């Protein structure tokens, strides 16, 4: 366990030497996110010179070919300003540092002999016996790869040397599969060796939610059901499914985003203050919070599927016309839900979550709406002008915190108007290009699981949404269609309107319609 003083020193010294083995070394995750993260860590001098990287995949190629392919992908980022990772030019010194430490091994994940070859290669790296196995592969390989690593003796820790496994989401596809996967991997690994990754938690703005709440005396006293009316959490995307249809068809928006990304934002916003920032103290509070979420009722969920439309002025096809998608698909590309947290802090406060693809704007944010001030004092003022206060924690695309309140309009009458103050990270801090994986890789190497999920929290998250998954399976109802480039299905607006609430607008759409 990392002490609070150890965390304070993090980021100022290199992580311990280790070999990182990337299963799925030729895949999209490794190319587009993990390599840029290593490049950034190398440029920040946070990796030990003895660190080595091994890519394992079924595609036959040499180490030189793998390096060339990764270098080409890295160079492409300099030409795509809209990408998650964009730099004007590559630092040749930082990329060379990573590239010269890359080794590729063509191997079949299902062949036990492959793991003997991995072991032999590890013996030759000279990274001190420390190894991180990063499973950047399809979820169906998680259990088999861990089983075979264990059978080959590659997960056995010796004195002074660690062996860790990073598992990407989705961690299961429902409660039963998540429980089964946890049971399977914990037969081979100790919980302390398992790092369940959700790269949302690696983003600075997400981590800053804890700093905002617990590092400022003005917020925590009002962060509860006495003052908060409701909370909205939004993760809206303008992109479609595109070439991920084979993955997305059996997955859908709820499985892809809600029990992981959105619930991670939820825990940051709603958890109780931990006694320290030690990993287990924080993860204990997160687990308590998730266990307090009442099972979501089917009547409190809306799902939609995008049809053809326009996004940023460009025509796009509907979901059912995307590659590897069934023409009669019932998979949701949008989901909105209302949930309740049954504890002393939040009882009676509705939490509204929404996420979707091909929406009118790209935005990830948390909005905390406070209860309205009594209006009697301002009875001569138009009541609609007395707006409730709100704090908006904006994570993407702009990194900012906005506070909305009422102020007097200059003049002889007592007339109010809503105004806002905004703190933008770029105005105060130098933000380095980041994909969110830098912190996760660095913390895994250091043995700090603070930003990784624990088995109990994973299972409680699936338990909260299991009634919805079961209900959808039994009803076989089709998602409500919505045009690409709009805020989503109309039923999502009605979900909030039942309680007199409304979604924050995403952006004006070609039709002029906005979420109310």
Looking at the chain, how many residues does it have? 516
17: left (phi over 0), alpha (psi -120 to 50) or beta: beta
Is the distance from CB of 78 to CB of 87 less than 8 angstroms? yes
Q: Specify the residue for token string 């630092």.
A: 91
Neighbours of 143 (CB within 10 A): 17
Tell me the residue ranges of DSSP E strands in 213-320: 228-236, 301-307, 309-311, 314-316
| CA–CA dist 288, 293 (Å, integer) | 9
Neighbours of 140 (CB within 10 A): 9
| CA–CA dist 195, 450 (Å, integer) | 10
Q: Can you tell me whether residue 467 is helix, strand or coil?
A: helix
Q: What secondary structure does DSSP assign to 100-136, as a single string?
A: TTEEEEE--TT-HHHHHHHHHHHHTT-STT-EEEEE-
* Cα four-point dihedral sign 480, 484, 490, 491: positive
| CA–CA dist 25, 456 (Å, integer) | 29
In sequence order, which residues have a C-beta less than 8 Å from that of residue 435 and are 6 or more positions away?
33, 36, 37, 40, 84, 85, 199, 202
Structure tokens at 444: 């895994």
| CA–CA dist 327, 496 (Å, integer) | 31
Task: Kindly name the residue from 45, 58, 261, 501 that is annotated as catalytic.
Answer: 261
* Residue 44 backbone phi and psi in degrees, to 5: -95, 5
261 is a catalytic site residue: yes
Q: What is the DSSP letter of 259?
A: I
Q: What is the DSSP letter of 299?
A: G
Structure tokens at 181: 């996967």
Q: Specify the residue for token string 């909205």.
A: 232
- C-alpha 147: how far from chain center: 27
| CA–CA dist 480, 489 (Å, integer) | 6
Q: What is the dihedral of CA 396, 401, 403, 409, to 10 degrees?
A: -80
Neighbours of 294 (CB within 10 A): 12
Alpha carbon distances (Å) from 511 to 177, 360, 483, 487: 42, 11, 10, 11
- C-alpha 464: how far from chain center: 18
Annotated catalytic residues are 261
């Amino acid at each position: 366990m990392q002490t609070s003083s150890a965390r304070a020193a993090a980021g100022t010294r290199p992580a311990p030497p280790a070999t990182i083995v990337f299963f799925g070394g030729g895949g999209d995750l490794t190319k587009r996110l993990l390599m840029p993260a290593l490049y950034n860590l190398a440029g920040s001098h946070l990796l030990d010179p003895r660190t080595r990287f091994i890519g394992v995949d079924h595609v036959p190629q040499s180490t030189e070919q793998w390096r060339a392919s990764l270098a080409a992908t890295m160079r492409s980022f300099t030409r795509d300003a809209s990408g998650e990772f964009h730099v004007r030019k590559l630092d040749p010194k930082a990329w060379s540092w990573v590239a010269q430490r890359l080794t590729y091994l063509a191997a079949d994940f299902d062949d036990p002999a492959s793991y003997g070859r991995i072991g032999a290669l590890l013996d030759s790296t000279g990274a001190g016996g420390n190894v991180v196995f990063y499973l950047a592969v399809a979820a169906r390989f998680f259990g088999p790869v861990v089983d075979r690593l264990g059978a080959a003796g590659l997960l056995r820790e010796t004195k002074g040397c660690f062996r860790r496994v990073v598992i990407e989401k989705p961690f299961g596809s429902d409660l039963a599969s998540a429980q089964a996967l946890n049971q399977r991997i914990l037969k081979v690994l100790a919980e302390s060796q398992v790092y369940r990754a959700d790269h949302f938690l690696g983003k600075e703005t997400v981590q800053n939610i804890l700093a905002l709440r617990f590092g400022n005396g003005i917020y925590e006293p009002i962060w509860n059901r006495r003052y908060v009316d409701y909370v909205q959490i939004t993760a809206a995307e303008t992109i479609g499914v595109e070439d991920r249809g084979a993955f997305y068809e059996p997955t859908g928006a709820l499985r892809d985003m809600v029990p992981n990304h959105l619930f991670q934002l939820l825990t940051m916003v709603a958890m109780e203050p931990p006694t320290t920032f030690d990993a287990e103290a924080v993860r204990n509070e997160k687990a308590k919070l998730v266990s307090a979420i009442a099972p979501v009722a089917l009547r409190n969920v809306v799902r939609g599927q995008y049809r053809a439309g326009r996004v940023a002025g460009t025509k796009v096809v509907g979901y059912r016309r995307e590659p590897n998608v069934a023409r009669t698909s019932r998979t949701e590309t949008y989901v909105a839900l209302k949930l309740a947290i049954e504890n002393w802090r939040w009882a009676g406060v509705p939490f509204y979550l929404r996420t979707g693809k091909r929406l009118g704007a790209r935005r990830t944010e948390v909005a905390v709406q406070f209860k309205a001030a009594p209006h009697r004092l301002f009875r001569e003022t138009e009541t609609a002008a007395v707006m409730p206060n709100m704090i908006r924690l904006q994570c993407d695309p702009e990194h900012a915190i906005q506070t909305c309140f009422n102020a007097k309009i200059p003049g002889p009458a007592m007339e109010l108007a809503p105004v806002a103050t905004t703190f933008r990270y770029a105005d105060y801090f130098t933000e380095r290009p980041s994909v969110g994986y830098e912190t996760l890789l660095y913390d895994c190497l250091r043995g700090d699981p603070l930003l990784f999920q624990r088995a109990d929290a994973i299972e409680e998250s699936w338990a909260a949404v299991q009634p919805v998954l079961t209900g959808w399976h039994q009803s076989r109802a089709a998602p409500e269609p919505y045009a690409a480039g709009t805020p989503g299905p109309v039923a999502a607006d009605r979900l909030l309107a039942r309680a007199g609430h409304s979604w924050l607008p995403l952006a004006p759409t070609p039709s002029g319609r906005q979420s109310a």
